[in-house]
Amino acid sequence: MRTKVSTPLKGRRLLVAVSGSIAAVKTPLLVSALVKAGAEVRCLVTPSAAKLVSPLALATLSRHRCYGEDDEWDSSCSRPLHIDLADWAELILLAPLSATSLSRWSQGSADGLLASVLLACECPVLAAIAMNTAMWNHPAVQRNWELVQTFPGVVPLLPQPGLLACDRRGDGRMADPLLIELAATSLFSRGDAGPVAKLDWSGRRLLVTAGPTVEPIDQARLITNRSSGAMGVLLAQAARLRGAEVALVHGPLQVPEPWLESLHCHPVQSAAEMQMVLQQKQADVDAIAMAAAVADLRRVATGDVSTAGKAAKADLALRLSDGWELVPDLLQGLAARRPAMQLILGFAALTGEDAELLRRGEEKRLRKGCDLLFVNPIDRPGQGFGQARNGGWLLGNGWSKELPVTGKLQLAHQLLDALLALRQPSPASPVPADR
C-alpha cells in the first residue's frame, strides 16, 4: 500500500493565548508538546495570566519571545502588534480562556492585546475555557459562551469535571493539554491547505465502538486481542470536534486518558456487555462506527467464570477444549435491526495480499449488511493494532477506494467524510472510488 507522511502540525503557525485562570499553570505543557510536534509557536499572556505563569518559561519553551500587554504599542514594531499576530497565526489556541477574556471577546471589545487579536484574526480559534464552577454556571457566562460559538471558525473545548483549585468539585477544569494538542492536530488533519474548523457533523449523533472485548477463561486467564482502541477513540474525538454528539462504547483501552474527555463513554468488558449497550443506544443515533475488535470465542454460559477459581495448568487443555461458542456478529446484528436512514461503518482486520483482502472484504460487507466497510491489513509493519498509523481500503456499494497508510486521526476524518457523503450525496461530493 501507499504511505502518506503524517505530520499535521509540522511547520504550522500556532498562537497560544493565555488568560487569567489558574489553569494557566498547565499551558507550558501544551506549548512544549506543540513544539515537539514540529509547530512554530508564539505565546501571548494577559496581565492576569503573567502573574500565574512565567512569560520567560513560555518564551523558553516556544523558542520565541512571549508577548504581553506592554508590547501592544511597541514603537519598534512596523505594524500594530495585534494585526501582526492575527495575520501570522494559522490557528489561535485560547488555553485557558477565562471569564473576563470570554466577556471581552463576546462583546467585541478591543481592550487589551488578546482582545484586539481576537477581533482582528480570521483564522480558526480553539477555545479551552476554564473557571470556578459557580462562575461557569452563571447565566452571563453561559450567554457569552453560547455567543462566541456562533463566531466563524470557533471550536469549543468544554470545561471538565474534577477537583478545582478552589477545592470545589465540579465543571471548570481546562481540557487536558493532551486533548488540546489532539484538537489542534485534528484541525490540521482534514487537508493540506490549513486548519479546517467546519462543524459539519453538528446536530448529528454518532455511536462508536473501540478497543478489544475480553472473555474470561477463569479468574486469571482471558481471551482478547491486540487492539489498543486508538482508531475508535480518535474517530470519536474527530467527530466530536466536527460538532457531533458522540457515544463511545469501549473495551479495555491503551490510549491516553485525556483522549476520552467530553465523550459519553460506556466502558464494557465482554461482547455481551457491548451488545447490550449497543442495543440500548442504536435507536437514538444517526450513524454507527464499529471499530471495536470483538473477541471471537466465549464460554457457554454455565455459571460465573469470575468466581469459578483458577484452573490448574494440567486441567487447562480440558478447560479450553469444551464449552465454548462463537460470539454473535454484533455488526451484522446492528445492520439487521437498524432504523431507516441510519448509516453503519464496519471495520475488518484481515491478512493477506491486496486482491485477497478486497475479495474477502466485499464478502464481509455484503454478509454483514453495512453501508461502508474499512478493510485494514494487520500483517504489515507500521500499521494496524497498536500502531500510530493505519491504512487500507474503504468499500461501498459497487466501489472501493484505497486509503493510504497515514495517521489514525487523518484516517478518521476520511472515514467521517465518507459517511457524510452518503448522507448528503451531490454531484460535487461523491465518495471518490478507485473502481
Per the omega criterion (within 30 degrees of 0), is the bond before 139 cis?
no
207 vs 95: CA distance, rounded Å: 29
Do 111 and 32 meet the contact criterion of CB atoms below 8 Å apart? no
283 vs 198: CA distance, rounded Å: 27
Do 250 and 229 meet the contact criterion of CB atoms below 8 Å apart? yes
The H-assigned helical ranges of 296-368 are: 313-321, 330-336, 354-368
- Which of 209, 286, 287 is closest to 248 using CA atoms? 209
96: left (phi over 0), alpha (psi -120 to 50) or beta: beta
CA 192 to chain centre: 19
**Cell numbers at 168, concatenated:** 470545589
Known active-site residue 121? no
Tally of CA atoms within 13 A in the half-sphere of 234 that contains its CB: 27
- Which of 300, 291, 295, 340 is closest to 319 using CA atoms? 300
28 vs 42: CA distance, rounded Å: 12
- Which of 241, 259, 151 is closest to 201 using CA atoms? 241
Do 345 and 392 meet the contact criterion of CB atoms below 8 Å apart? no
Do 118 and 97 meet the contact criterion of CB atoms below 8 Å apart? no
321 vs 166: CA distance, rounded Å: 58
Do 317 and 284 meet the contact criterion of CB atoms below 8 Å apart? no
Question: Which position among 66, 166, 265, 370 bears the catalytic label?
Answer: 166
**Cell numbers at 97, concatenated:** 480562556
CA distances from 133 to 23, 160, 180, 339, 419 (A): 13, 10, 20, 39, 37
* Residues noted as catalytic: 166
